[in-house]
Amino acid sequence: MPQTTLDLVDHKFIGTSNIDNLCFQFNERNINLTPKNFVASSNSGAVMWKLAKAGIGICVAPKMLGNSDLDIEEICSNLININNPTWLVTHQELKSNKRIRIVFDFIANKLKAGN
C-alpha cells in the first residue's frame, strides 16, 4: 500500500483513454508517472471503478464515491488533491416542475457538501 506520493510510481494505474493528460496531471503534482504505469484505460467511470474493485490498479475517483464503497481503500488522500469541475445539468422544466427542482436541489447540495 503506497504511503507517500513517491511510492505511487511503483504501482499500476487505471485511467481514461487520455493517458498523456493523466501523466501530465500527476507530474504537475510531483508524481512521476509514465504511460507504462497505466495497465488499463476506459472512458467509462463505471468500468474504471469495476477494474479498481477487481484489484487491477489504482484509479482516481470522487471522494464521495469511494466513501460509499467498503471494498475500496482510499490512499494518499492527504497528499493528492485533484479538483475536477462537476456539471449538474437538467431539463428546461427545472423552472416549471417542482419535483424536478426538489431532486435537482438535493443533488446540488450533496455535491457541494462532497457526499
Co-location of 100 and 63 in the same domain: no
pLDDT tens for each residue of 19-30: 998 899 889 888
- 56 assigned to some structural domain: yes
8/33 Cα distance (integer angstroms): 8
Same domain, 61 and 13: yes
Surface-to-core class of residue 30, CB atoms within 10 Å of its CB (0-12 exposed, 13-18 middle, 19+ buried): exposed
Full domain range(s) for residue 61: 6-67
Secondary structure E strands in the chain = 13-15, 38-41
Domain membership of residue 112 (yes or no) is: yes
Q: Does residue 90 belong to any structural domain of this protein?
A: yes
Q: What is the CA radius of gyration of the chain?
A: 17
Domains: count for the chain: 2
pTM: 0.69
pLDDT digits (tens, 9 = 90+) for 74-93: 887 766 666 667 788 888 89
